[in-house]
Structure 1
C-alpha cells in the first residue's frame, strides 16, 4: 500500500509540476524506446491544461544529402523514422538505407525529434547506410528468387493436374479392355519427364522446398502408373490375337466337318 501511495503521489506531483494532466486529474504515460517512462503523446496534442489542448508545433528542418539541402516540414514530436519516410520520396533512398546524423550523432529511427533537441530551423545530414542497404538488397534478392520459385511451382502443378486427367482417362479405357495407341502412352510419359526436369531446376527453401518434393513424388508416381498401363495395354493386344486364333481354328474345324467323305474303290468305269 505504501508503494502504491508513493507512486500516486509521484504521479500527481509530476502533473502539478508540469501542468499536464487529463480531465480526470491523472496523467497518461508511455514507455519510450530508450526505456524512459514519459507522458503519453498524442499526434496533434501535447497535454491538457484547464481542459484545453495544446497543439503540437510544426517545425521546418534542413537535411543535407550529398550536395543538396532538403527542407522538410514535420511535427516536432515526430520520430526520425517518420522523417526518413518523408525524405524517401525526395532522395529516392529506402528509409531502411538512410542514416541521419544530428549534432554529430547518428539518430535511431524510433527516437523523437524534440527529445533529441531538434527545433525549427535545425540542420542535419543524411547518409546512405551501406551495410543496411547491402543486407536489404540480399534479402530482396532472396525474396525475389523465392517468389520466382513459387510461381514456377504453381505453373508446374497446374500442368501436372492437366496431365493427370489424361492418365485417368487412359486408365478407364485400358482397364475397361480397350486397347489404345502406345504412342499416346509414350508421349504422356515424355511430358511428365519434362515436368520432372523443371522441378529439378527449382531451388528453394522452407515450404516451397517441401512442396517441390511432393510434386516430384507425384510426377514419379504418374510415370510408374503409365508404365503399368503400357504392360496392361500390351496384354490386351495379345489376348485379342489369341482369341482370333481360336476363332480361326474353330472355323477351320467346322469347315472340315462339312466336307463329304472320300470313298476309295477298285471298280473302274469302262468306256
Structure 2
C-alpha cells in the first residue's frame, strides 16, 4: 500500500489546493461530498459520518473495487473530481467498538468504586486514634470499625474487574484485611465481673445423747 508523505507547513508552497466533489453510494442513497483533493480517506469518512450517521470507524470505503485504508490520501489513490465510491458498514469493526465501549465503561465503574472504597478505608483508619484516646469506649468503637471494614471487603468482592485493576483490587483487599486484623488484636479483652465470692457459712449442729 502506498502512503504519501506530506511536507510540513514550512515547506508547503503557496499553490492553492483544489476542492473536489466525490459521489458516494451508501445503500440506495447517493451523497455528494466536497473535500480537499489531498485529504485522506479517513477525513472523508468523518465527513460521511455527518451525512449518513454511520460512525467513521464502522465505515469501509470502496474505490475502484478496492477497500481503501483511512490513512491513504485521495490524490494518491487517484481520486478526482466526480469520482464515485461505495460506502459499506463494517459490522466486525462496529462489534469490536461496541465491546470496547462496554469494557471501558466497566473499567471506569470499577475504578471509581475502588477509589471510593480507598477513601472510606482511609477515613476508618483515622478513627483508630480515637481508640487510644477513649479507653472506656474502645471496645464499642473497635467493633464498629471492624464491622465497617467488613462492609468494605464485601463491596470489594462484589466488584467485577478484569485487567490491570485486578492488582489494585487485590492490594486494596489486603490493606483492608490488614487493618481489620490489627483492630481485632487491639480489641480489649472483656473483663469478667469482679467482686467478692459469695461467703460460705458452715454450721455445725450438735446432737445431745442421753
TM-score range, shorter chain: 0.7 to 0.9
Q: 2:116 aligned to 155, 160, 176, which one?
A: 155
Q: Does 1:182 align with 2:139?
A: yes
| Runs of at least 4 residues off by over 6 Å | none
Contact 2:35 2:44 (C-alpha < 8 Å) held by counterparts: yes
Residue of structure 1 in register with 2:94 after alignment: 133
After TM superposition, the structure 1 = structure 2 runs for residues 1-271 of structure 1, keeping only pairs within 5 Å, are: 34=2, 40-41=6-7, 53-170=14-131, 172-173=132-133, 178-180=135-137, 182-231=139-188, 234=190, 237=191
Write the distance in 1 (CA, Å) between the matches of 2:187 and 2:80.
83
Structure 2's unaligned 5+ residue stretches are: 197-210
Write the distance in 1 (CA, Å) between the matches of 2:129 and 2:178.
13
Q: Which has the higher contact order (CA 8 A, sep 6+)?
A: 2
Contact 2:139 2:188 (C-alpha < 8 Å) held by counterparts: no
Write the distance in 2 (CA, Å) between the matches of 1:40 and 1:228.
69
Contact 1:62 1:72 (C-alpha < 8 Å) held by counterparts: yes
TM-score by length of 1: 0.65
Write the distance in 1 (CA, Å) between the matches of 2:75 and 2:172.
57
Write the distance in 2 (CA, Å) between the matches of 1:188 and 1:165.
11
Structure 1's unaligned 5+ residue stretches are: 1-32, 246-271
TM-score by length of 2: 0.82
**What is the alpha-carbon root mean square deviation over aligned residues?**
2.5
Larger Rg over CA atoms: 1
Write the distance in 1 (CA, Å) between the matches of 2:130 and 2:141.
12
Contact 1:79 1:111 (C-alpha < 8 Å) held by counterparts: yes
